[in-house]
Amino acid sequence: MSAFDFIRRNPLLWLGAALVAVALALSALVVVPETKQVVVLRFGQPVRIINAYDSRELFGRTGAGLAVKLPFIEHLVWVDKRVLDLDMPGQGVLSTDQYRLEVDAFARYRVVNPVRMYASAGNESRVGEALKPILGSALRNELGKRPFAMMLSPERDVVMTNIKNSLARVAQQYGVEIVDVRIKRADLPDGSPLESAFNRMKSARQQQALSIQAEGARQAQIIRGEADAAAAKTYADSFGKDPAFYDFYRAMQSYRVTFGTDDKEARGSATILLSPDNDYMRQFMGKKQ
């Protein structure tokens, strides 16, 4: 009761005390989220790390949560705990067979030693800046040792591993672990290399077009020939039974056609001189057989 009365009588004093208490509590208590690790500096010297990264830990058992520090004496450096991006667009690389390639690569990294990272670079983005040229030169070194065709072969994984390893050696000095390095794209750059590739594709296709057409013509010719042969066989099988009769029969047909008896109109006028000795005129002449 008396405390309550005291407060009611001295509201300003109470308010001031409460504010001081809250300020102290706020500067002593730190809420560390799962995505951050914290380096605690006492007079500039790192004394401990809150929520440091450990590859074996599970969420829920990390060091995140409410932490305590000494107000005004200890200062905090916040470091990202997540996997961070490092993009490397448009690196010009010359392969051993003089192909100029444009390579986009990316790396994924994570700060595993925040104290070393803080001491050597200050913050995560400066680490990224420091790693970029190293990734670039690692790319050029590795790809420059190999022919262009390798980029399109399973051997590419070996190259990636080599690049990752050489990058990881440097990254270690920054307290950073390289999670992965990948080539996103390796393209022929615009201009003459791309043009010549297109020309090669075009000529290959034109050649393909010609050979397809020639193959079609060849097969068509074979089909015609086979059909002619089959027809000849059919004729021979049938007509060969009596060549003499065939000769007569076919001659009769031929006369009809050549003299136009199948048409309504004769195709040409014809005058026939008949000798009375003609076989047709035999009866006409009243000859005996």
Partner 1 sequence: MQEDAPGTMLSEGGPWGGSGDKGNGDKKPWTRAGSGPSALDALIRRGRARFGGGGGGGDPADLHLGGLWRWAVLLILVVWIGATSTHTIGLQERGVVTRFGKYIGTLGPGLNWTFPAPIDLVTKVDVDNIHVIDIDRGSDASGENLVLTGDENIIDLAYSVRWSKRDPELFLYELQDPEATIKEVAESAMREEIARVTLDQAIGAQRTQIQQEVAQRAQELLDSYHAGVVIQGVAIKQAGPPSEVMDAFKEVSAAQQNAQSYLNQARAYATQVTARAQGEATAFDAVYAQYKLAPEVTRRRMYYETMERVLAKTDKTVVEPRNVVPYVVPPGVPRPAQEPAK
Task: Name residues contacting partner 1, limited to 139-158 (CB under 8 A).
Answer: 148-149, 151-154, 156
State the minimum distance, in angstroms, from the CB of residue 251 to partner 1.
9
- For the chain, how big is the Rg over CA atoms in Å? 49
- The rounded distance, in Å, linking the Cα atoms of 54 and 285 is 130
Strand spans (E) along 2-73:
29-32, 36-42, 45-50, 65-68
Q: Choose the binding region for partner 1 from 40-48, 134-142, 163-171, 188-196 (rule: CB under 8 A).
A: 188-196
Interface with partner 1 (CB under 8 A), residue from 126, 238, 247, 287: 238
Q: Segment 160-179, which members bind partner 1 (CB under 8 A)?
A: 179
Q: Choose the binding region for partner 1 from 19-27, 111-119, 133-141, 243-251 (rule: CB under 8 A).
A: 243-251
Q: Choose the binding region for partner 1 from 19-27, 69-77, 87-95, 132-140 (rule: CB under 8 A).
A: 87-95
State the minimum distance, in angstroms, from the CB of residue 213 to partner 1.
4
Tokens of 175: 């307290």
- The rounded distance, in Å, linking the Cα atoms of 289 and 282 is 8
Residue type, 270: A
Q: Segment 16-55, which members bind partner 1 (CB under 8 A)?
A: 31-35
State the minimum distance, in angstroms, from the CB of residue 113 to partner 1.
18
Tokens of 195: 């043009």
Kindly state whether residue 92 participates in binding partner 1, applying the rule CB under 8 A. no
State the minimum distance, in angstroms, from the CB of residue 43 to partner 1.
26
Interface with partner 1 (CB under 8 A), residue from 241, 243, 286, 288: 241
Judge contact between 39 and 76, C-beta under 8 A. Answer: yes
- The rounded distance, in Å, linking the Cα atoms of 114 and 22 is 30
Residues forming a β-bridge with 41:
46, 75
Interface with partner 1 (CB under 8 A), residue from 81, 93, 143, 167: 81
Q: Which of 91, 178, 169, 164 is nearest to 128 (CA)?
A: 178
Q: Which of 87, 178, 171, 77 is nearest to 127 (CA)?
A: 171
- The rounded distance, in Å, linking the Cα atoms of 289 and 286 is 9
Residues forming a β-bridge with 40:
48, 76
Q: Segment 205-224, which members bind partner 1 (CB under 8 A)?
A: 205-206, 208-210, 212-213, 215-217, 219-221, 223-224
Q: Which is nearer to partner 1, 44 or 215 (CB)?
A: 215
Kindly state whether residue 108 participates in binding partner 1, applying the rule CB under 8 A. yes
Total chain residues near partner 1 (CB under 8 A) = 99
